Amino acid sequence: MTLAVRAQSFESLRASWNNLLQHSAGGSIFSSWEFQTAWYETFGQGLDLHLWQVVDGDVPIGIAPLMQQDRRICFVGAQDVCDYLDFLILAGREREGLSAVLDHLETLSWDQMELISLREGSPTLAHLPALSAAHGWQTEVVKQDVCPQLPLPGDWDAYLSALSKKDRHEIRRKLRRLQSTDAAHCYLGSSPSADMETFLTLHRQSNEDKAEFMTEQMEQFFRRLADTFDLLGQYGMYLMEVDGLPVSAAMCFFTPTEVLLYNSGFRRDYGHLSVGLLLKAYCICDAIQRRIPAFNFLRGDEPYKYHLGGQDEPVYNMTVRRV
């Protein structure tokens, strides 16, 4: 049977979206209905939305969350806040689902399609170049960045033992120094609104780049993410206090297979206590205690990720040019 592609709205896809997400090899929390809707309603106004559902008869097998500006098509989302993006196609049916999307793209006027933040192992990376070539289109794939990963062992001691001797020594030394204050306290917050206020303050204090990044519009987006994913049980804000003063915060998402470190901030005048790195070590410890299999540091090759055991996983950009 020939697959059909139907234009839809976010609301019309709400019931089926996350079911496909759970059964798609390319899915991530950034491709969830909640995240995509939050991004588009915050940043996407004025862009032409191409939100397509791929169906086999009446059975949904895929979603193509695309948008267009002028003659450029891209995923819904942006690199600065979406570490992974992809099509959502039922596992095992990716090739035919992507083929149907490309057939539908033939009906639009565009010159270039930019598909960013494709995770290693994405079916889009495996199938789309050949499918595009069949249409006479040119495809280029380049490494965009890395998202260091950390497989988690069964306990904290096993985690420390897996680190290099130097990194293990440094973490223990920094923990002893912090604990010598007798006033340090790390915990998982329980009030999304209040915890977000603390995070935003610490985030802006971290450095000039972060202060510039956190515009009023971006703040609105972060607040929405916290409120939305807290209700779903997929959000947590880790906090560190010294003498009752908040000095570090780390915003995380939870899935059954990994904890994702989304963003963080700290007081620079407490940098001598390594409060940023040690709070992230606490996040790892908590993930181990929760029996979550992996910790994902997400995009960027900051040195602390490797000191804590991160191992690079590449993320790719794919550009399709219509010729």
Mean pLDDT estimate for the chain: 95
Which residues lie below 8 Å from residue 56, measured CB to CB, with a gap of 6+?
Answer: 1, 3
Per-residue tokens: 112: 């270039």
Q: Does domain 149-296 have CATH number 3.20.20.140?
A: no
At the top level of CATH, the class of 4-145+315-321 is alpha beta
pLDDT of residue 1: 57
Query: What predicted TM-score, i.e. pTM, was given to this entire model?
Result: 0.95
Answer whether 4-145+315-321 and 149-296 agree in fold. Answer: yes
**What pLDDT sits at residue 215?**
96
Q: What would the pLDDT profile of 150-206 be if each residue is shown by its tens digit?
A: 999 999 999 999 999 999 999 999 999 998 876 899 999 999 999 999 999 999 999
Which strand (E) or helix (H) includes residue 56? strand 48-56
What the block records as the tokens of 178 is 């912090």
Q: Residue 323's pLDDT is what?
A: 83
DSSP β-ladder status, 245-254 and 235-242? antiparallel
Structural domain spans, the chain:
4-145+315-321, 149-296
Question: What pLDDT, in 10s, does the model give residues 261-298?
Answer: 999 999 999 999 999 999 999 999 999 999 999 999 99
Q: What is the pLDDT of residue 105?
A: 96
Residue 53 pLDDT grade (very low, low, confident, very high; cuts 50, 70, 90): very high
Q: What is the CA radius of gyration of the chain?
A: 21
Residues in the chain, total: 323
Q: What is the pLDDT of residue 180?
A: 84
> How high is the pLDDT of residue 252?
98
Query: CA 194 to CA 192: how far, in whole Å?
Result: 6
At residue 231's C-alpha, the angle toward residues 225 and 233, to 5°, is 95
pLDDT digits (tens, 9 = 90+) for 305-315: 999 999 999 99
Share above pLDDT 70 across residues of the chain, in percent, rounded to a whole number: 99
Region 46-66: mean pLDDT is: 95
Report residue 294 as tokens: 């992996």
